[in-house]
Each structure stands twice: as structure tokens, then as C-alpha cells.
């Protein structure tokens, strides 16, 4: 804590209403990971380049490493922890597993949420649409091909 006055925010995180006090410059990524103990969103580049920290705010993909928590006031935030419905995986999670699109897993939560945002905008994306949408999501393991396959599979399952 650095002495800055706290700001009260209300957010719905993965379906649960939360009221939090944060410093004005608190990053959404830190609030999710450190205050709410949701470790799915990862910190890597810290400069809005890699996509590892991607979460959805009111359905839009944002880089939580550069997004202020106060900007999320009044919004719904979805992290990878909120994708599954109990024991039932989200179709994207299922497709990532089935397609072998997960290796070290560091990029996976960001990829899943970016893909969720894509399918919300475009339920039937082409391979090129997917590659274009993933241009801000870096993976150093998979070569992307299986990730694209997984998103194509999931788009068929969710249509």
C-alpha cells in the first residue's frame, strides 16, 4: 500500500458480485491475481504485447496488465476460472484439449478468452479471421496451428 486514497469499485467477477477497495492506479491484473487469488491471467510482457493477461470486461478482450481496475467499475469481468460451468468445460476448453492446443499452458488462458471474444463477434470465423484476431496473442510452444484448429472446432460446437 503506498498511501494513495482507496477507491471503491463494484465488479462482477465470474458471476460473483464483488466490492473492492483499490488504489487508483491498481492494475486489473494485480487485483485479479493478488486480491482475488485468480491466477489464470498471466503476467509476461507487461506492455500489452503478448496477450497472456487477457480477460474479458463486458465481453471485450482487454490486457489486464495495462487496464486499471477502476476502469472495470460497474462491469462484468470473465477470467479463465469462470469459463467452465462446474465440471463441464467450456466448448473452447474442450476443443483446446481435443486439438492438443496446450503445451506449457502459459498463453492458454489468454488464448481462450481472446477466442471467446472472437466467437462473440464472429460465430463462424475463417482460419484467416482467427489468425488476424490472435495477432496480439503470443505462443512460443504450439506454432499456432493447433490453437487455430481448436477455435475452428469450438466455433462448430457453439454455432
User: Taking CB under 6 A as the criterion, which residues in 120-149 touch ligand FES?
Assistant: 139-142
Give me the least distance between CB of 29 and ligand FES, in Å please: 7
Give me the least distance between CB of 8 and ligand FES, in Å please: 25
Torsion of CA 124, 75, 136, 104, to 10 degrees: -90
105 makes contact with ligand FES (CB under 6 A): yes
For 61, the enclosing helix (H) or strand (E) is strand 60-63
Residue closer to ligand FES by CB (options 23, 146) is 146
Size, binding site for ligand FES by CB under 6 A: 22
Residue closer to ligand FES by CB (options 24, 100) is 100
Given the DSSP bridges, would you call strands 76-78 and 7-13 parallel, antiparallel or unpaired? parallel
User: Quick check: 157 and 94 in contact, CB under 8 A?
Assistant: yes
User: Taking CB under 6 A as the criterion, which residues in 37-66 touch ligand FES?
Assistant: 43-46, 48-53, 63, 65
Give me the least distance between CB of 75 and ligand FES, in Å please: 18
Residue closer to ligand FES by CB (options 78, 107) is 107
For 7, the enclosing helix (H) or strand (E) is strand 7-13
Give me the least distance between CB of 41 and ligand FES, in Å please: 8
Distance of CA 56 to the CA centre of its chain: 5
The angle at the Cα of 146, spanning 127 to 13, to the nearest 5 degrees, equals 90
Place of cell 460451468: 85
Residue closer to ligand FES by CB (options 61, 124) is 61
User: Quick check: 2 and 21 in contact, CB under 8 A?
Assistant: no
Q: Name the site residues for ligand FES (rule: CB under 6 A).
A: 43-46, 48-53, 63, 65, 102-107, 139-142
Amino acid at each position: 500500500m503506498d498511501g494513495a486514497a482507496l477507491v471503491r469499485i463494484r465488479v462482477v467477477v465470474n458471476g460473483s458480485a464483488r466490492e473492492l477497495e483499490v488504489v487508483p492506479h491498481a492494475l486489473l491484473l494485480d487485483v485479479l491475481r493478488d486480491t482475488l487469488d485468480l491466477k489464470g491471467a498471466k503476467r509476461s510482457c507487461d506492455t500489452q504485447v503478448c496477450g497472456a493477461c487477457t480477460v474479458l470486461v463486458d465481453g471485450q478482450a482487454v490486457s489486464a496488465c495495462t487496464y486499471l481496475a477502476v476502469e472495470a467499475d460497474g462491469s462484468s469481468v470473465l477470467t479463465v476460472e469462470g469459463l467452465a460451468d462446474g465440471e463441464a468445460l467450456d466448448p473452447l476448453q474442450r476443443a483446446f484439449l481435443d486439438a492438443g492446443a496446450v503445451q506449457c499452458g502459459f498463453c492458454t488462458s489468454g488464448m481462450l478468452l481472446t477466442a471467446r471474444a472472437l466467437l462473440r463477434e464472429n460465430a463462424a470465423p475463417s482460419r484467416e479471421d482467427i489468425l488476424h484476431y490472435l495477432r496480439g496473442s503470443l505462443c512460443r510452444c504450439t506454432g499456432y496451428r493447433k490453437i487455430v484448429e481448436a477455435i475452428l472446432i469450438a466455433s462448430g460446437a457453439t454455432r
